[in-house]
Amino acid sequence: MDGVGVGVVFGVGLFCAWWSCWERPPRTAARRTSRVRELLDAAGWREVPVPVLPAACLLAGVLGAVVVTGSSGALILGAAAGCAAAALPVLGLRQRVRRRREDTAAQWPDVVDTLASAVRAGSSLPEAVCGLASRGPQSLRPAFARFAAGHRASGAFDTELRRLQEELADPVFDRLAATLRMTRQVGGSDLGTTLRTLSGYLREDQRTRGELLARQSWTVSAARLAVAAPWIVLALLATRPGTLEAFDSSAGALVLLVGTVVSAGSYAAMSRLGRLPTTRRVLS
C-alpha cells in the first residue's frame, strides 16, 4: 500500500473515531414518515400520500439516468444525472414550502390586526376567527371558511382551531392559536393589547428578514454559479468527440465522483452557513 492509501485509511479511521464520540437518536421509519408528512402539509398538499414523494424521486432518477445514458452513451454520466434528478422533487418541494411561508408570513400581521379590530368591536373569539373567511387575506380565506363551516356544524372551537392549525402548518399561526385558546379557556381583558403587540413584532420581523435576504441574495447567487460552472463546462466539453470516452474510464469515473462530492458538499455547507434561522413549530 502506497502513502496515499495509508493516508486515506488513517483519515477514515480518525473520522470514525470522532463520529463515535457523538450520540445520535435513531432515525426510525416512523420518524422519517412524519417528516415527509410535515413537509407535504407545509407545502399545502395534505391530500398527497407520503409514498408519492419517494416514488417521484425514484421516477425522476430513473428517467434522468435513462435519458442521459441514451443520449451520451456513458454509463457513469447517466448514473450521476440519475442521482441529481432524484433529488429534484425534494428540492422543489422544499422551495415550495419556503415560498409559501414567505408569502403567508407577509399576510399574518393583517390577520392579527383584523382579529384585534373584531375583538375591540365586541365580537367573540369564534366570531372574530370566522370573520376572517370574508375579511382576511385572499389566500387564507378558504382555510378560515372551512373553519367557519366546521364551527357552525359542531360548535367545538378548540377542535376546529386545532384542525385549522394542522391545515395551515405555520409557526406564526401556532402562536396565534395558542393565544386564542388560552384566552378562551382562562379569560382575560388584554387580548387586544396582546394581538397588537404580536402584530408589531411580526411586521418588525418581516422587515428585518427582508433586509437580510436582500443583502444575502447576491452572495447566494454567486455561490450557486460557482457550483454550477464546472458542470456547465463539462456539458459543453461533452459535445466534442472523445470527451465522453475519457470519462467512461475508471480514472474519469473517479474524477466525476470527486467532483460530485466536492460540489454537493460545498453547496450544502454554503446553504447551511448562509441559512437564516426559521421559526420551528414548537406549539403544534
User: 215-266 pLDDT, tens per residue?
Assistant: 777 777 887 888 888 888 877 777 776 776 777 777 777 888 888 888 888 8
Residue 108 carries which side chain, given as an amino acid letter? W
| Residue at grid coordinates 454550477 | 228
User: 52-94 pLDDT, tens per residue?
Assistant: 888 999 999 899 888 888 877 777 777 878 888 888 898 888 8
Which long-range contacts (C-beta less than 8 Å, at least 24 apart) are formed by 98-105?
100/42, 100/43, 100/44, 101/42, 101/170, 101/278, 103/139, 104/139, 104/140, 104/168, 104/170, 104/172, 105/170, 105/172, 105/202, 105/206
Predicted pLDDT at 96:
87
Count of residues for the chain?
284
C-alpha pair distances (Å), 209 with each of 29, 139, 197, 270, 278: 35, 22, 18, 18, 10
CA–CA separation, 71 vs 235, rounded Å?
12
Predicted pLDDT at 33:
66
CA–CA separation, 28 vs 25, rounded Å?
9
Predicted pLDDT at 8:
63
Split at pLDDT 50, 70, 90, the class of 28 is very low
Please compute the mean of the pLDDT values over residues 11-28 and round it to a whole number. Answer: 64
Contact 101, 168 (CB under 8 A): no
The runs of H, that is alpha helices, within the chain are 3-19, 29-42, 52-72, 75-86, 88-105, 108-120, 125-135, 141-154, 157-168, 171-186, 191-237, 243-247, 250-273
Please compute the mean of the pLDDT values over residues 31-43 and round it to a whole number. Answer: 75
Share of the chain above pLDDT 70, in %: 85
Please compute the mean of the pLDDT values over residues 85-108 and round it to a whole number. Answer: 84
C-alpha pair distances (Å), 58 with each of 29, 87, 95, 124, 128: 18, 9, 19, 50, 46
CA–CA separation, 82 vs 67, rounded Å?
9
Asked whether residue 30 carries a pLDDT value surpassing 60, the answer given is no
Please compute the mean of the pLDDT values over residues 254-281 and round it to a whole number. Answer: 77
pTM of the model: 0.63
Predicted pLDDT at 280:
66
CA–CA separation, 238 vs 259, rounded Å?
16
Please compute the mean of the pLDDT values over residues 131-143 and round it to a whole number. Answer: 86
Please compute the mean of the pLDDT values over residues 253-282 and round it to a whole number. Answer: 76
Question: Nearest CA to 52 among 63, 36, 38, 28?
Answer: 36
Share of the chain above pLDDT 90, in %: 3
Q: Could you give the 3-state DSSP secondary structure of residue 45? A: coil
Tell whether the torsion through CA atoms of 231, 237, 241 and 247 is positive or negative. negative
